[in-house]
Amino acid sequence: MPVPEPANTATLPGRPPVPEQADGTAESPSITAEAIFPAACAYYVAPDGSDDAPGSEAQPWATFQHAADTTQPGDTICFRGGVYPVEETHLTSSGTATALIAFVALSLIHISEPTRPY
């Protein structure tokens, strides 16, 4: 006897439908660490970096804006921990449904106003 198709399914964006269980709840999809955290950093940003650098692990960029201006769909930008100056950042490129642009903090980062003398 053939197994009947489930009557209802739950859908997650970008994922195939997840069949519902007999009690009406969705089966738990399996999520791997690779789905949450990208496998590799294409570029790096650090508080002591330089926007004239190549953005490598050894020579990171300094600013969020330079990262936003330089990246392309599919890139992962990793931010090292530390204190970054406050800056208005405008995202100038966009990922796609199959090639996201990921901004990942590798450890705690702090955005700080510059000290102003009064």
Kindly report, residue by residue over 4-47, the tens digit of the pLDDT.
Answer: 444 444 444 444 554 555 555 555 444 333 444 545 899 999 99
117 within some domain = no
User: Domain of 63?
Assistant: 34-112
With tokens 């992962």, the residue in question is: 76
Query: What does pLDDT average to over the chain?
Result: 74
Count of domains observed in the chain:
2
102 and 73 in a common domain: yes
CB-CB neighbours of 79 under 10 Å = 23
Average of pLDDT values for 56-62? 95
Q: What is the pTM of this model?
A: 0.61
As a whole number of angstroms, the distance between CA 17 and CA 22 comes to 16
Average of pLDDT values for 90-96? 83
105 and 57 in a common domain: yes
88 and 71 in a common domain: yes
103 and 59 in a common domain: yes
104 and 60 in a common domain: yes
Q: Is 115 exposed, middle or buried (0-12, 13-18, 19+ CB in 10 A)?
A: exposed
